[in-house]
Structure 1
Amino acid sequence: MKKQPDSETGENPNSWKHTVALTMVLAKRVVSSEYKGTLLGRLWSLINPLATIAVFAVIFGLVFRGGVEPGRNSGIDSFALWIGIGVLCWGYLVGVVNDGMGALVGNSGLLTKVYFPRYVLVLSAALARTFDFLFELSVLVIITALIGGPQVLMYLPLLLLIVVITGLFSFGLALFLAIATVYFRDIVHLWSILAQVWMYASGVVFPLTMLVAAQEHLFEMGWGWQGKPLPLDVVFRLNPAELILEAFRSVLYDYALPGPEVWGGILAWTAFNLLIGILVYRRFSPRIVEEL
């Protein structure tokens, strides 16, 4: 007997092959249309990270020199490259969230005309963004190999694993925000503010070692906790984005394995995000079309 679609979500439990195919088609549509009509086309995926690193090389490499220790195994001593890694990897993380959270509202016309699993739109947006990021990541790998040596190539499998974990982390958050945006459109504006705060709280443009001086300064001004400086570095380490950026920098800047606390943190946060995203999706997705 042919199985009927699920009574709550309307999804056929045997349609996973069609769902995968549809996800890939939608992701390919996003990728192919991204640079449509431009003269350089896909080359912009290579030019953009180079331009970003060049800007930070001038601003932070020459004007504002930071206090980043040389790479442990690579010997790389470039604050500009350290920041470039953070900026590009942060851009991927938040880019998946931005694209995914607007996928349902942005495709409301399609959702009201034909049925398919709603999460496919969020997933396809995440895959398209990942495809672009792989081009940017290849530029980073080439630059680090030229500066620190080709040993970074040995860590490519580990680097791809971190990309997958980051993508899943961002997808879980994007799925939650995509559903929330359908019901509360103000989420988009609130998220734009929170994302800016989150970026600076994630150590994208400064190392956590700089917080030590800030802790001491605040302590001298009377801001402390139980007679000790405020543990700003501990608070920052609870931030999942900071841990993800540290994982990328460990591989690309230090040529080293991320520490066990980093692995434990990013895996725990990724599992949490996916769980919350899936639970919210299963609870509220049946009414998406009505709300749109």
Structure 2
Amino acid sequence: MSAIASGELTTPGLGGGLRDIRQSGFLLKLLVRKELKVRYRGSVLGLLWSYVKPGVQFIVFYVALGVFLGLERSARNPEGLSNYAVYLFSGIVLINFFTEALGNAARSIVNNGNLIKKIYLPRELFPVASVWVSAVHFFPQLVVLVIGCVLAGWHPNLIQLLAAVAGFVIVALLATGLGLLFGAANVYFRDSENLVDMLLMVATWASPVMYAWSMVHDKLGAGWFAVYQANPITIGVELFHYAFWFPTTDGSVAMPPNLFSLWLFVGLGVAVAILLLGQFTFRRLEGRFAQEL
């Protein structure tokens, strides 16, 4: 009433963006619980699938790459990676979080179309809830990773623990920003889902999850390697390697140069920029979500 009296009009269907998420914590929790219940409805294993799927994925990659292709260091292959199992699984845990978060966030608006057409609530809640659901699946895998690292002689210092937090934050911000961008675009162009699927396939291999960064440096040279290293997912994976894998080695392995003095800030900057771009695009398009759905 005060807005009408003062002559101010607001555009229907538009909110305050991500700022509204802080005021809608209860709704966010409800959406996360709903997503988890719907996903595991009728499932025998339920949340245990968070252990089974990455476990099978790890075994396949470890046998194919570590054993058959010789990436695991051994007496016959001294040039391989020390504790390749820890190296591999620490990357898989983070990349699985990204792929699940972005894949679900990109479909979240369309999948909740019936709810969006009936009531108004901050639409950013749906992509953000998808990222939170992925985080719920991420932490059981993280527990398994920590147990494996401890068995391998893991003794991290504070900087290494902070590196793990920084890596997760970078990837979470990136997934949220891209989720907002593609979630909004998918309402108007359903081809966005196929584009996201291709992007996720490339992301798994375009970051040093299953191979060493030095292999890329040797093949591409310093110039193109800098382009490769600017990928926030690459930076997040390397921070995870530094946090979980590096302390289990003898310390003779080399991490990417300038990881903390340069690339950490590049990763945060790119992730925040994509988050802002995703929020801007989302707010420009959300006004017609109900009509398009």
Q: Note whether the superposition's TM-score is higher than 0.5.
A: yes
* Residues 14, 283 of structure 2: 8 Å contact kept: no
Question: Quick one: which of 139, 142, 153 aligns to 1:137?
Answer: 142
Count of residue pairs brought into register by the alignment: 273
Please, what is the CA RMSD of the aligned residues? 3.0
Question: Quick one: which of 81, 85, 88 aligns to 1:83?
Answer: 88
Whether 1:277 aligns to 2:282 is no
Q: Which residue of 1 aligns with 2:107?
A: 102
Gap runs ≥5 in structure 1: 69-75, 216-228
Q: Which residue of 1 aligns with 2:78?
A: none
Gap runs ≥5 in structure 2: 74-80
After TM superposition, list the pairs within 5 Å mapping 1:13-52 onto structure 2. Answer: 19-52=24-57
- Paired amino acid for 1:275: L
- Paired amino acid for 1:8: T
* Residues 112, 289 of structure 1: 8 Å contact kept: yes
Deviation for aligned residue 1:15: 6.8
* Residues 57, 80 of structure 1: 8 Å contact kept: yes
- Paired amino acid for 1:285: E
- Paired amino acid for 2:228: F
Q: Which residue of 1 aligns with 2:232?
A: 240
Whether 1:147 aligns to 2:143 is no
* Residues 243, 266 of structure 1: 8 Å contact kept: yes
Question: Quick one: which of 8, 13, 17 aligns to 2:11?
Answer: 8
* Residues 56, 84 of structure 1: 8 Å contact kept: no
Q: Which residue of 2 aligns with 1:187?
A: 192
Structure 1 residues 15 and 251: CA distance shift in structure 2, 3 A: closer
Q: Which residue of 2 aligns with 1:218?
A: none
Residues in 2 aligned to 1:157 and 1:11: alpha-carbon distance in whole angstroms = 37
Structure 1 residues 140 and 9: CA distance shift in structure 2, 3 A: farther
Residues in 1 aligned to 2:279 and 2:134: alpha-carbon distance in whole angstroms = 20
Segments of 4+ moved more than 6 angstroms: 1-6, 12-15
* Deviation digits for residues 79-125 of structure 1 (CA, Å, limit 9, x no counterpart): 23312222221111121111101000111111111111111111111
Residues in 1 aligned to 2:209 and 2:288: alpha-carbon distance in whole angstroms = 38
Deviation for aligned residue 1:25: 0.6
Residues in 2 aligned to 1:9 and 1:205: alpha-carbon distance in whole angstroms = 48
* Residues 61, 78 of structure 1: 8 Å contact kept: no
* Residues 88, 136 of structure 1: 8 Å contact kept: yes
Q: Secondary structure at the match of 2:24?
A: helix
After TM superposition, list the pairs within 5 Å mapping 1:210-229 onto structure 2. Answer: 210-215=215-220
Q: Which residue of 2 aligns with 1:263?
A: 264
Residues in 2 aligned to 1:188 and 1:235: alpha-carbon distance in whole angstroms = 26
Out of 102-111 and 196-205, give the one that drifted further. Answer: 196-205
Residues in 2 aligned to 1:265 and 1:154: alpha-carbon distance in whole angstroms = 18
Question: Quick one: which of 129, 134, 155 aligns to 1:124?
Answer: 129
- Paired amino acid for 1:7: T
Residues in 1 aligned to 2:200 and 2:175: alpha-carbon distance in whole angstroms = 13
Whether 1:176 aligns to 2:181 is yes
Q: Which residue of 1 aligns with 2:205?
A: 200
Residues in 1 aligned to 2:21 and 2:145: alpha-carbon distance in whole angstroms = 35
Residues in 2 aligned to 1:209 and 1:105: alpha-carbon distance in whole angstroms = 41
- Paired amino acid for 1:267: L
Deviation for aligned residue 1:65: 1.6
Deviation for aligned residue 1:156: 4.5
When normalised by structure 1's length, the TM-score is 0.82
Residues in 1 aligned to 2:86 and 2:14: alpha-carbon distance in whole angstroms = 46
* Residues 145, 151 of structure 1: 8 Å contact kept: no
Q: Which residue of 2 aligns with 1:250?
A: 242
- Paired amino acid for 2:284: R
* Deviation digits for residues 182-213 of structure 1 (CA, Å, limit 9, x no counterpart): 11111111222233223322223222211344
Deviation for aligned residue 1:141: 1.2
